[in-house]
Amino acid sequence: MGKRVLAIASGGGHFIQLMRLSPAWDGHAVSIATVDPTSRALVGDAPFFTFRDVSRADWWRIPAATLDIAAILMKVRPQVIITTGALPGLIAATLARPFGCKSLWVDSIANSEVLSGSGGQAGRVCSQVVTQWPHLAADKVEHWGSVL
Amino acid sequence: MPFDRLTRAMDEWAAANPDIPVEIQIGKGDYEPRHAKWVRKLALPDYQARVAGCALFVAHCGMGSIISAIEAGKPILMLPRLQAMGEHNTDHQLATAKHVGVRPGLHVAADADDLKARASALLADTGTAPAPISRFADPAFTLRIRAFIES
């Protein structure tokens, strides 16, 4: 049967990196959530959800994004969240944590000199944070590999 | 975020090279190309088809563009977005240029003029294309994530 997994990412590079990780949840009950409806074509048969995007630059969109993500969480009831960022993945992990859902933050490979803003926060919320750059590995930030 | 510097440079390049078809995805930019064909936003499958079908992919220095170019085995010419010009929230694209832009088949321009010069040079001789890669990350990485899911 496997675990109920929610794989969630913003658009562009975040989503493309998430798709490159798909073998990780093969055979599990995965749902995919992102911002661009046309991304559906890439996810195969998995249940697919979209939410209104938000970033720190347009923080006033946080309530709308949070509502959408909460609705997705209620439908999927994930046991595990995997996210490649950005802020919406952090919102999902935060909302699901009180319900015993564990979460993995995979910091974007675009962050090659410092962890992303949300990645820095993720340490306080997510069960595990990983960077894709060996030189950014630290106390609680592990390096498991990269999408490239 | 808009990236008018890239759109304008490639529109000017298109004007100087009328025989070469140029199509630009301009996003939320203010500058609307007058010479190149343009679109606000392509559906993701259409975007991937354009990358697979082009001779040279010109883009910002973002990981989505880079991964798409590498997956398609196409040379990519990039102009990093700069925070000081309001093109992104941080200067991480300069870091990407430094750490990822060195891979074979990836090319980074210093500014708009350099971009136009390199576009012409790369079309004359594309040199090494990026080695096509698997659709998925290294199995060692995805197996580790699988172990996290199943633990």
List pLDDT tens digits, range B79-131: 999 999 999 989 999 999 999 999 999 999 999 999 999 999 999 986 778 88
Q: How close is the nearest chain A Cα to the Cα of B16, in Å?
A: 30
All structural domains of chain B: 4-150 (3.40.50.2000)
Residues 6+ apart with CB under 8 A from A25: A5, A7, A82, B145, B146, B149
Which chain B residues are closer than 8 Å to A102 by Cβ? Answer: 148
Give phi and psi for A103, each to the nearest 5.
-145, 145
Quickly state the pLDDT bin for B42 (edges 50, 70, 90): very high
Contact indicator for B51, B25 with CB cutoff of 8 Å: no
Given an 8 Å threshold on Cβ–Cβ distance, is A13 in contact with B143? no
Cis peptide preceding A86, ω within 30 of 0: yes
Residues 6+ apart with CB under 8 A from B16: B116
- How far apart (Å, rounded) are the C-alpha atoms in residues B66 and B75? 9
Contact indicator for A117, A108 with CB cutoff of 8 Å: no
Q: Find the CB nearest A25 among B62, B70, B149.
A: B149
As a whole number of Å, the CA-based R_g of chain A is 14
Quickly state the pLDDT bin for B29 (edges 50, 70, 90): very high
DSSP class of residue A145 equals -
Q: How close is the nearest chain B Cα to the Cα of A21, in Å?
A: 6
> Would you state the pLDDT for residue A1?
67
- How far apart (Å, rounded) are the C-alpha atoms in residues B93 and B100? 10
List pLDDT tens digits, range B127-145: 778 887 889 999 999 999 9
The pLDDT tens digits along chain A (148 residues) read 699 999 999 999 999 999 999 999 999 999 999 999 999 999 999 999 999 999 988 999 999 999 999 999 999 999 999 999 999 999 999 999 999 999 999 999 999 999 999 999 999 999 999 999 999 999 999 999 999 9
List pLDDT tens digits, range B46-64: 999 999 999 999 999 999 9
SS3 A9: coil
Q: How close is the nearest chain A Cα to the Cα of B141, in Å?
A: 5
What stretches of chain A show up as alpha helix (H) in DSSP?
13-20, 62-76, 87-96, 117-122
Exposure string of A45-56, with b = 16+ CB inside 10 Å and e = fewer, is ebebbbbebbbe
Average pLDDT (B30-44) is 97
Distance of CA A102 to the CA centre of its chain: 12
What ipTM is given for this predicted complex? 0.96
As a whole number of Å, the CA-based R_g of chain B is 16
Which chain A residues are closer than 8 Å to B148 by Cβ? Answer: 80, 102, 104, 128
| Sign of the dihedral defined by the CA atoms of residues B33, B78, B14, A12, in that order | negative
Which chain B residues are closer than 8 Å to A15 by Cβ? Answer: 64
Contact indicator for A13, B64 with CB cutoff of 8 Å: yes
- How far apart (Å, rounded) are the C-alpha atoms in residues B69 and B34? 26
Confidence (pTM):
0.95
All structural domains of chain A: 4-143 (3.40.50.2000)
Contact indicator for B138, A109 with CB cutoff of 8 Å: no
